[in-house]
Amino acid sequence: MKPPSNIQEDKAMGDLTWFRSGGLARFYLAPSSEEELIEAVKWAQREEVPFHLMGLGANSLFPDDGYPGLILHMTKFRQRGVFYRHCSPSVLEVDAGINLENLVKKLNEAGLGGFEGFVGIPGTVGGSVWGNAGAQNSSLGDRVEALKILGSRGEVEWVNGDQIPWKYRSSGLGNRIVLAARFTVEPDQDPEELKNRSAAFLRYKKSVQPYDDKSTGCIFKNPGAGLSAGQLIDDLNLKGLCEGGAQVSDLHGNFIVNTEQTATTADVLALVSKVQKKVYEEEGVRLEREVIVVGEDSK
Ligand SMILES: Cc1cc2nc3c(=O)[nH]c(=O)nc-3n(C[C@H](O)[C@H](O)[C@H](O)COP(=O)(O)OP(=O)(O)OC[C@H]3O[C@@H](n4cnc5c(N)ncnc54)[C@H](O)[C@@H]3O)c2cc1C
């Protein structure tokens, strides 16, 4: 089947995910506008091609044997030169393709508070809203006033934040596509104070997480009841455990790193199974994977 001319075929994806693993995408597009995205989704639906939204791939693994559908890579999905638009002094509209780390920097500089604790979370706004990313006892969902959503029948609508079933690291959005978000911020804050707070959070994050290594962020969700996946893994002395090129980080038990950049996605998944088995056998706790494997949730 011949795709429209803006859609590439057989695109190597390894370098486009944060972890740096995986094979080819059968079809690939980095849409820069709503029209381009909607046309591509319509084409995929018409041709019965599965499709998958990808941001920075900072919480995703790409299959080694490739993905037989269309990757919609959202990193260019933004109005050129604009990080956010003011709806009111305390509500901002941000496109899904905006880089969250850059957004935090811009908001801090503008004295708009509330995002300084999200420093050091690599991702796009769309991917981070989808996964309800967070840190410092706060999640992005807490800041969402409304989301601009593309539904499965091609309908575009604004949905109020309080209608989204936010949970820990989940928005419940399923196969709906985030086009933009309206976030609440705290105006008139001291930029230096916001920057200092972010700098302190980032320093701490770098001291306890392998921030500069290739990883997927936390590989498991915290299992609830006050338990920490990282602590459980640490208590069982699983730090440093390897499978092929993938290794449980020496710094943080809930990170799997690709230090030599030779790890495959299969290595990570084998290591994940090993850790899950050990933790279940020794502690009776079932660890649930936080990281997504592209294709498991084809939209
Ligand atoms: C070093 C490091 C530190 C991290 N620290 C944190 C942390 O402190 N807190 C935290 O919560 N996470 C953390 N993470 C994980 C990761 O940064 C977040 O999950 C981030 O929000 C992922 O965004 P992304 O754009 O890369 O999403 P991706 O991994 O590209 O995608 C994740 C999911 O979102 C979907 N998606 C992407 N864009 C859209 C869209 N526009 N509409 C609908 N669905 C979409 C994808 O289909 C996929 O299902 C860390 C990761 C790393 C590597």
Q: Full-prediction pTM beyond 0.85?
A: yes
Instruction: Decide the pairing of beta strands 144-150 and 177-184.
Output: antiparallel
Strand partners, 72: 29, 53
Give the span between the Cα atoms of 87 and 65, in whole angstroms: 44
* Nearest-atom index, ligand 1, CA of 132: 11
| pLDDT digit string, tens, across residues 94-146 | 999 999 999 999 999 999 999 999 999 999 999 999 999 999 889 999 999 99
Give the span between the Cα atoms of 63 and 43, in whole angstroms: 23
* Nearest-atom index, ligand 1, CA of 216: 53
| pLDDT digit string, tens, across residues 253-277 | 999 999 888 999 999 999 999 999 9
| Residue-range domains of the chain with CATH | 8-76 (3.30.43.10), 85-192 (3.30.465.10), 210-293 (3.90.78.10)
Q: Are 184 and 143 in contact (CB under 8 A)?
A: yes
Is residue 296 within 6 Å of ligand 1 at its C-beta? no
The residue whose C-alpha atom lies closest to atom 23 belonging to ligand 1 is: 123
Is residue 183 within 6 Å of ligand 1 at its C-beta? no
Is residue 297 within 6 Å of ligand 1 at its C-beta? yes
Is residue 52 within 6 Å of ligand 1 at its C-beta? yes
Is residue 222 within 6 Å of ligand 1 at its C-beta? no
- CA dist 136 to 31, 133, 171, 189, Å? 32, 11, 18, 19
Tokens for 112, please give them: 């708009």
Beta strands in the chain (DSSP E): 8-12, 24-29, 51-54, 60-61, 67-73, 85-88, 91-95, 134-135, 138-139, 144-150, 156-160, 177-184, 215-218, 242-243, 246-248, 255-257, 292-293
| pLDDT digit string, tens, across residues 144-192 | 999 999 998 889 999 999 999 999 889 999 999 999 999 999 999 999 9
Is residue 134 within 6 Å of ligand 1 at its C-beta? yes
Question: Counting beta carbons within 10 angstroms of the beta carbon of residue 140, is it exposed (0 to 12), middle (13 to 18) or buried (19 or more)?
Answer: buried
* Nearest-atom index, ligand 1, CA of 179: 41
| pLDDT digit string, tens, across residues 196-244 | 999 999 999 999 999 999 998 999 999 988 899 999 999 999 999 999 9
Residue 2 CA to ligand 1 centre (angstroms)? 31
pLDDT of residue 297: 61
Residue type, 216: T
Beta strands in 30-168 (DSSP E): 51-54, 60-61, 67-73, 85-88, 91-95, 134-135, 138-139, 144-150, 156-160
pLDDT of residue 116: 97
Is residue 192 within 6 Å of ligand 1 at its C-beta? no
Secondary structure (3-state) at 122: coil
* Nearest-atom index, ligand 1, CA of 213: 1
Residue 299 has pLDDT above 60, yes or no: no
Is residue 124 within 6 Å of ligand 1 at its C-beta? yes
Give the span between the Cα atoms of 213 and 215, in whole angstroms: 6
Tokens for 199, please give them: 């700098």
The residue whose C-alpha atom lies closest to atom 3 belonging to ligand 1 is: 217
